[in-house]
Amino acid sequence: MSELHPITVSSWTLGDKCSFEDRCKYASEAGYDGIGLRAENYVDALNEGLSDQDLLDILDKYNIKCTEVEYIVQWCEEPRSYEQKYKEQMCFHMCDLFGVQHINTGLMENYSIDYISKKLQELAIRAGDLIIALEPMPYSGLTNFDKTWEIMKKADCDNVYMLLDMWHWVRSGQPYDLLTKEQAKRVISIQLDDTYSRPYAKSILRDESMHDRLAPGVGDLDTAKFVQMIKDAGVDPKVIGVEVISDKYMAKGLKFVADYIYRQTVEVLKQAWPGILRNSVTA
């Protein structure tokens, strides 16, 4: 198990119908160091009748950790809904419960850079010692890396970093030599996957993201080259997330999804960044 760079099966990879114990079981058996959980997964687990202690016990049973918490959204809304306020507080609680230091955060609504920066400052204050990990996505208000970086600089918050996902990177049309060493210092984690060369139409691009991603290294847009960029820029990812949302894979069952995607992830890392795998230790 890697304590430094845990390979983590992100929540959506195993879908939203997966029980908490199955999520831990299949992830552990495949070889992952950690699982990712959305606030919705946590609520589902509580509705299974599990307590916080039960969740910790199940993680221990399968010798795996929760290493990724998500997903804060609609933090720019005025007024913010009680649902989103509760969801944000739930993410804070999950971080405390599982010992996770950052929360994956997105923004679907599009506002001016000045307004988003102001609201980001407010969110960063509410997060306290936790890190807000902004995720650029081409169909969101954080349209691409450049806009997200500009917002971060304007907000100037010590606890705001970025999560970079390969799928979103390439679908935003960004080259693999864009990330600088200065910017790399503000990247807290990465997510790996792959894509077809031709994207869905812009108006339905999110459908591709939520249903038709590919496992790392099996698509047309070179996951290894993305990892090489991350490595060369000097990113020290606290989590190597694997977010492959695929109806085609899910139709083959959770065990197939967990096993196949883990094997493909390791192959890509062996090719592009073998040194990061040497930090793993046998549990």
Domains of the chain, first to last: 7-273 (3.20.20.150)
- The β-bridge partners of 160 are 132
Provide the 8-state DSSP code for 200: P
Provide the 8-state DSSP code for 66: E
What phi and psi values does residue 43 have, to the nearest 5 degrees? -65, -40
User: Would you state the pLDDT for residue 282?
Assistant: 37
pLDDT digits (tens, 9 = 90+) for 215-247: 999 999 999 999 999 999 999 999 999 999 999
pLDDT digits (tens, 9 = 90+) for 169-202: 999 999 999 999 999 999 999 999 999 999 999 9
Hey, what are 259's tokens?
């096993």
Q: Which long-range contacts (CB under 8 A, 24 or more apart) does 39-44 make?
A: 39/69, 39/70, 39/71, 39/87, 39/90, 39/91, 39/94, 40/16, 41/11, 41/16, 42/90, 42/94, 43/90, 44/16, 44/20
| C-alpha triplet 169, 224, 254: angle, nearest 5° | 80
Look over the chain and give the mean of its residue pLDDT values, rounded to a whole number.
96
Q: Provide the 3-class DSSP secondary structure of residue 236.
A: coil
Q: Which residues of the chain have pLDDT under 50?
A: 1, 281-283
